[in-house]
Amino acid sequence: MGAVVIGASAVASAVAAMQAKSLDIVGEMGLKPGRWHTTIQIVDAAIVPTPGRPVPAGAAERLKQAIGSSMDTEDCIGSIRPAGSDLVLPGIKIEAACVLGEVEADQRILRIKGTCGSMADGFKADMNVQAAHSATAMTANVESLAFSEGVGFSTRIVVTTNSKYMGQCPAS
């Protein structure tokens, strides 16, 4: 399973890429580069209707069934991220095309608010990430509100992540 992904390619998950001034977010956070194991759990999910547009029968119920489900992922976390690339954090992948309105990162906390896509393009996701961490462990709450013109309603999903450093990344 993959990390929580936020961007135009994923409605269920969301987070954003760092601006050029924050290419070394992993370094700013003091996260140990290497292999991280993460358990991601869906803690809330709901459909937000668009006025004047019907929600397909059963869609809200199917989404509610996802609450409580979890998945595991492993990510190879580097230090400096090349300009224009996705940001990969433990359990969270933020697409490079996303725009961040707020970023706060230090040795204990991470906060990110951002947007991926636009209504003009037919897809928009707003996200809010709040994490607490040490060099070798991280917990995060990720909330996303995504709208897709194709489905005609917004989806709100809240996940928690619990990550631990596992050692060196496998040689590639």
- Is residue 172 included in any domain, yes or no? no
- Is residue 61 included in any domain, yes or no? yes
Cα 151 from chain centroid (whole Å): 21
Cα 114 from chain centroid (whole Å): 10
Average confidence (pLDDT) over 33-42? 96
User: Tens digits of per-residue pLDDT, 75-126?
Assistant: 999 866 667 788 889 999 888 889 888 889 999 999 999 899 988 888 899 9
What is the number of domains present in the chain? 1
- Is residue 101 included in any domain, yes or no? yes
pLDDT value of position 48: 85
pLDDT value of position 40: 97
pTM of the model as a whole? 0.80
C-alpha triplet 127, 131, 133: angle, nearest 5°: 155
Buried b (16+ CB within 10 A) or exposed e, 76-98: ebbeebeeeebbbbbbbbbbeeb
Domain hosting residue 62, numbered range = 4-167
